[in-house]
Copies of this chain bind each other. A is one copy, B any other.
Amino acid sequence: MDAAEFRRRGREMVDFVADYLENIEQRPVYPDLEPGYLRSLIPTEAPLEPENYEDIIKDVERVIMPGVTHWHSPYFFAYFPAASSYPAMLADMLCGAIGCIGFSWAASPACTELETVMLDWLGKMLQLPEHFIAGTHGHGGGVIQGTASEATLMSLLAARCKAIRRVHASIPENSEADILSKLVAYTSEQVSTKKQFPITLMYCSNFTHISDLINAHSSVERAALIGGVMMRKVPTDNSYAVRGDMLKKIVEEDKAAGLIPFYFCATLGTTPSCAFDHITELGPLCNEENMWMHIDAAYAGSAFICPEFRPLLNGVEFADSFNFNPHKWLLVNFDCSAMWVKKRADIIGAFKMEPLYLKHENQESGRHWQIPLGRRFRSLKMWFVFRLYGLKGLQAHIRKQVDLAKEFESLVRADKRFEICAEVIMGLVCFRLKGSNELNQNLLKRITESREIHLVPCQLSGRFVLRFAICARSTESRHIQQAWRHITQLTFEFFFSPCASAIFCG
């Protein structure tokens, strides 16, 4: 394909994209097919000769779209939002064209330098403490990671390195391997792949996936596995948040047993219920105990650009690293996860980088504080989005979505058959029918099979709970009202169905 044809096909694709997003409401939000559907729809091998572009575009509708879960449908309320905006998409086109691989400053200076400044812009929007902002000639700085998982891993590896060095320096007889075997990392019990509901016979095999997400956000567990350290879960309070005394208790137990607590991943906005660990208590405790505190605010972090939510970030001044995902809730298309560290030297030391990398410290974007060597020019997306929305536009987006969540919460509260399961602070509502877990599993099954709206569940205090997350940028009040009508209709139908009798009587 040459440039002339690209100009033509590019215009067609722009229209395809706009058409898709403008009409996405008409599509069933969740696919109706069995695993393995796609293989039978396309050849088993690549073609020998080039094919026609029109045939490929036809196949987008025939092969791809039936299998797409439409994350940007205003009827998609599952997981957490995946951010998307037209400015970000435009920036991504430019990023693809420039197509540089920014593994070093020289590989494309603009790539490295724009990232540094964009992380400063973003850090200032969140009113991060000055020591995180690179531009103030401090010791800290920011970097764009691909995902929160990579940020968590990097922070844990830096913490591991720091802890081993510290302990080894004070007790040289202990080998590194010995110290490693005693290190313990901690995180909230809300972060877990293990607290899952047994897959009951009520679910067909398609729905095993749901357990992928029940209380899952296993990035911290993966990081501990990779880092070769033990991990322990800290119990949470009635609001599903970690308090200082709970962490203190478990840390004291482990120290008494000869272990070395070295890392705590605090979560601001847990996946199940968007709970907030009490970092004003946890921060000082971690500092006293020489424990690295990493804050994972993957979803909630975007809201801290609003003054009314910023107090939830108080305590970040105690953190060694902080991460959130603009690609969840700040209109920047995936991938774009922002991570800041208090001391660049900690991360760089973890990789024993050559001293020359430290030479240009004030221009360093932290690009070495990551797993991959290569990276795209992702900061272009931030630059376009931040300038085309302005801080006010970004705040308006957050506030609108929080309002929609509150609207849904009101609908739930007004219906005495239902209950709200956790405080609604941001854009997530956890709710359920008053009654058994089986009842709620059945309701969710019907919701999923109807394919009009899409939700996923979680587990809170042993109860099966439905999560309603405001996701698509185009979600409006009418979608909330329609979703609730749909849920209550299904509930009504269910109470008069044979299944219901079985549940209530047997």
Q: Residues of A at under 8 Å CB distance from B?
A: 1-7, 9-11, 13-18, 20-22, 30-31, 33, 35-39, 42, 44-51, 53, 55-56, 60, 63-72, 79, 82, 84-90, 92-94, 96-101, 103-111, 113-114, 116-117, 120-122, 124-125, 135, 146-150, 153, 157, 175-178, 180-181, 193-194, 196, 199, 205-206, 208-213, 217-219, 222, 225-228, 327, 333-335, 350-352, 354, 356-357, 359-360, 362-363, 371-374, 376, 380, 383-384, 386-393
Cross-chain pairs A/B with CB under 8 angstroms, 23 sampled? A1-B388, A3-B22, A31-B110, A39-B113, A45-B124, A46-B386, A47-B390, A51-B390, A63-B110, A67-B113, A68-B100, A69-B109, A71-B99, A84-B96, A92-B92, A92-B96, A107-B209, A149-B372, A194-B354, A199-B356, A219-B373, A222-B371, A335-B372
Question: A101–B206 contact, CB under 8 A?
Answer: no
Most chain B Cβ neighbours within 10 Å, of A193, A211, A372, A393: A372
Give the residue name and chain of the B residue nearest to A394 (CB).
B46
Most chain B Cβ neighbours within 10 Å, of A44, A146, A217: A146
Most chain B Cβ neighbours within 10 Å, of A72, A88, A97, A356: A97
Q: How far is the CB of A48 from chain B (nearest CB, A)?
A: 5
Neighbouring B residues of A69 by C-beta, 8 Å? 100, 106-109
Known pairs A38-B117, A199-B356; A109 contacts B71 (CB<8 A): no
Q: How far is the CB of A68 from chain B (nearest CB, A)?
A: 5
Question: A90–B17 contact, CB under 8 A?
Answer: no
Q: Beyond A10-B86, A16-B94, A33-B109: 15 further Cβ-contacts under 8 Å?
A: A6-B14, A10-B90, A11-B11, A13-B90, A13-B93, A30-B106, A31-B109, A44-B120, A60-B94, A65-B110, A68-B100, A69-B106, A104-B213, A218-B373, A228-B228
A113 to B36, CA, bound (A): 7
Known pairs A218-B373, A226-B226; A362 contacts B60 (CB<8 A): no
Neighbouring B residues of A386 by C-beta, 8 Å? 46-47
Q: Choose among B16, B146, B387 the residue that contacts A50 (Cβ–Cβ < 8 A).
A: B387
Question: B1–A86 contact, CB under 8 A?
Answer: yes
Question: A335–B376 contact, CB under 8 A?
Answer: yes
Question: B86–A5 contact, CB under 8 A?
Answer: yes
Question: B109–A67 contact, CB under 8 A?
Answer: yes
Neighbouring B residues of A5 by C-beta, 8 Å? 86
Give the residue name and chain of the B residue nearest to A360 (CB).
B35
Give the residue name and chain of the B residue nearest to A333 (CB).
B96
Most chain B Cβ neighbours within 10 Å, of A67, A193, A205, A373: A373
Give the residue name and chain of the B residue nearest to A4 (CB).
B18
Q: Choose among B20, B99, B226, B392 the residue that contacts A48 (Cβ–Cβ < 8 A).
A: B392
Question: B106–A96 contact, CB under 8 A?
Answer: no
A100 to B146, CA, bound (A): 15
Q: Choose among B14, B50, B88, B153 the residue that contacts A389 (Cβ–Cβ < 8 A).
A: B50
